[in-house]
Structure 1
Amino acid sequence: MKLRRSMLFVPGNNPALIRDVHIYRPDSVMFDLEDSISIIEKDSARFLVYNMLKKLKNYYKKLNIETVVRINGLDTDFGLEDLEAVVLAQPDIIRIPKIETAEDVLEVERHIERIEKEAGIDGGPIKIMVAIESPLGVLNAYQIATSTKRLVAMAIGGEDFVTSMKTNRSEKGLELFTARGMIAMAARAAGISALDSVYSDVNNDEGFLREAKLIKQLGFDGKSLIHPRQIELIHSVYTPSQKEIQKSYKIVEATKEAIRENKGVFTVDGKMVDKPIIDRANHVLALAKAAGVRVGGDCNEI
């Protein structure tokens, strides 16, 4: 299982932060060439990210930190130049902003394939992540999510989405509820990861945790982050507790016993256990193992 609980945004023009990502240990790091970079710094940021990736990507891989680069859109003066450089630098994922249709994704993929072919890169190793930031993108979420096998994750861009809806972000997040639900369902139906938008008040831990628990309950795999201090917070929400692990372990062990005894129906702690409950228990144990939390006994999934 590849964890994507935390994806830390790092401006592509900040060499110190790019260099020090290993200190913070997010599941994924996203080097940004888009919104956080001014027009006059686009070229220098691209050059910096290219060279830092060439130097450090194998080190990140050893630490199990996934490398992502957010390019500018192809409808800008910088998007294609970003792709030409980034594909050659070979991050794990290229993130495309402001996607509204499946064709938007396929256009980027065609350029990636062309650049790979010209450079003699075999196997299409680079994956794609998309950001949905408009009502049209939300309405087309499933078609986008199933547009190509390269696509491994879908994120919601909260600020752009609420702006396009002519509203604003609120503490309870009601303005994002429908879009979050549709994106999470599309991602689940397509078998890819779903990532939530950033929480911009970096000093409000209580508010961050409240939003993190909400998006976890909605089915998201994790959250985009703008500050390293948010990494530990989001990991605490997504890492199963010992109580959850013990309960799941008990269910899995009871399921093994029921299979050995050819039982069709059985209970754990007085509650009937069926396939959805077994699946959730297996998922909890897989999350715990991926997060490095010890799971008791010699427990394997059912």
Structure 2
Amino acid sequence: MQKLRRTMLFMPGNNPGMLQDAAILGADAIILDLEDAVSLTEKDSARILVRDAIKYIDYSQVEVVVRVNPLDTEFGPQDVDVIARVKPDTLLVPKADVEEIKLVDIMLAKIEEEEGYLVGSIKIIALIETALGLETVYEVIKASQRMVGVLLGGEDLTADLGITRTKEGEEIFYARNKVATVCRALRVDAIDTPFTDTNDYEGLTKDTARAKSLGLTGKSAINPRQIEIIHAVFAPTEVELKQALRVLAAMEEAEKEGKGVFSLDGKMIDAPVINRARTTVELGQRLGLIER
């Protein structure tokens, strides 16, 4: 079953205390960050710290993702080589483009063979944060069979575009829409950019709801206090669950009567509505909101 990635919590890779507590904060996935959160002088020590954390801390309740440095820096190749040997669940590849993803894929395959891991067992999430990455996101996803998702980096993307990042997020509407659509087409997760004001809970709720309405399947977070709100937004509501269950019950009755088409509350129910109802019920079951 596909992993839940409603929330992906960034944790600085150079903070031992935060690495120790990361697994119990409630996020679906944790991103142990070796890139933006770590200064140049601490890159090497952070890499070792994250490596040892994965080896010795019980992260079994969360997906462990490591954001490595770009491969065109002196740190990126070392990050991949050291971290992959302790088998994190996933690598988050920054400034992702087709060539970068292909290179990471090759490096991972070599390390997996050397370490005796199943080839392909370490997955990849592409961090889309440049205009080039956004416009080639389809090809980026197709560049590796390890790809399980895309994370949109709104801050770096708007910097690359030379525009101002705002709370309202209108400037990344196209980016969100494109990432969501392409990810849905290729059946991988579409993770939204973080909401950077950690004290604005109303703004976070609105921003997360906007992302969900566009088809993104989860949201990254930079503070544990954001997790509960994001989970609440991405969970089906009681009304949505009840309606989905009614649709499926009506479908079963129609099938018993040999009807290929049926209506509910005066509205024709077709395959897209049924599929949406099934998805809603499945998510509700996985979250323990309804019984299986």
TM-score range, shorter chain: over 0.9
Counterpart of 1:194 in structure 2: which amino acid? Answer: A
- The total of aligned residue pairs comes to 291
Residue in structure 1 matching 2:252, options 249, 253, 256: 256
1:96 alignment counterpart: 93
1:232 aligned counterpart, secondary structure? helix
Deviation at 1:120, TM superposition (A): 2.5
What is the RMSD computed on CA atoms of the aligned residues? 1.1
Counterpart of 2:135 in structure 1: which amino acid? Answer: L
Q: Note if 1:149 corresponds to 2:145.
A: yes
Q: What percentage of residue pairs aligned between the two structures are identical?
A: 40
Counterpart of 1:85 in structure 2: which amino acid? Answer: V
Per-residue CA deviations over 1:75-99 (Å, capped at 9, x if unaligned) read 0010011011111111110010001
Per-residue CA deviations over 1:44-96 (Å, capped at 9, x if unaligned) read 1110110110112xx322x2x11100000110010011011111111110010
Per-residue CA deviations over 1:134-184 (Å, capped at 9, x if unaligned) read 111111011111111100010111001001111111122111011111111
Q: Note if 1:10 corresponds to 2:7.
A: no
Q: TM-score with structure 1 length normalisation?
A: 0.94
Provide the rounded CA distance (Å) in 1 between the counterparts of 2:167 and 2:39: 29
Counterpart of 2:216 in structure 1: which amino acid? Answer: F
Q: Is the Cα contact below 8 Å between 1:42 and 1:78 reproduced in 2?
A: yes
2:70 alignment counterpart: 73
Q: TM-score with structure 2 length normalisation?
A: 0.97
Q: Is the Cα contact below 8 Å between 1:2 and 1:290 reproduced in 2?
A: no
Counterpart of 1:68 in structure 2: which amino acid? Answer: V
Counterpart of 2:223 in structure 1: which amino acid? Answer: H
2:209 alignment counterpart: 213
1:197 alignment counterpart: 193
Q: Is the Cα contact below 8 Å between 2:67 and 2:94 reproduced in 1?
A: yes
Residue in structure 1 matching 2:181, options 181, 185, 193: 185
2:113 alignment counterpart: 117
Q: Which runs of 5+ in 2 are unaligned?
A: none
Query: Following TM superposition, where does structure 1 have runs of at least 4 consecutive aligned residues deviating by more than 3 angstroms?
Result: none
Provide the rounded CA distance (Å) in 2 between the counterparts of 1:114 and 1:20: 32
Provide the rounded CA distance (Å) in 2 between the counterparts of 1:228 and 1:284: 26
Counterparts of residues 18-97 of structure 1 (less than 5 Å)? 18-56=19-57, 59-61=58-60, 63=61, 65-97=62-94
Per-residue CA deviations over 1:83-135 (Å, capped at 9, x if unaligned) read 111111111100100013x2220011111111222223233210000101111
Per-residue CA deviations over 1:187-213 (Å, capped at 9, x if unaligned) read 111110000111110000011111100
Q: Which runs of 5+ in 1 are unaligned?
A: none
Counterpart of 1:15 in structure 2: which amino acid? Answer: P
Q: Is the Cα contact below 8 Å between 1:195 and 1:220 reproduced in 2?
A: yes
Counterpart of 1:16 in structure 2: which amino acid? Answer: G
1:89 aligned counterpart, secondary structure? coil
Provide the rounded CA distance (Å) in 2 between the counterparts of 1:196 and 1:282: 24
Q: Note if 1:280 corresponds to 2:276.
A: yes
Q: Note if 1:164 corresponds to 2:160.
A: yes
1:20 aligned counterpart, secondary structure? helix
2:237 alignment counterpart: 241
Counterpart of 1:47 in structure 2: which amino acid? Answer: I
Per-residue CA deviations over 1:254-292 (Å, capped at 9, x if unaligned) read 111111111122112222111110011011111111222
Provide the rounded CA distance (Å) in 1 between the counterparts of 2:119 and 2:128: 27
1:30 aligned counterpart, secondary structure? strand
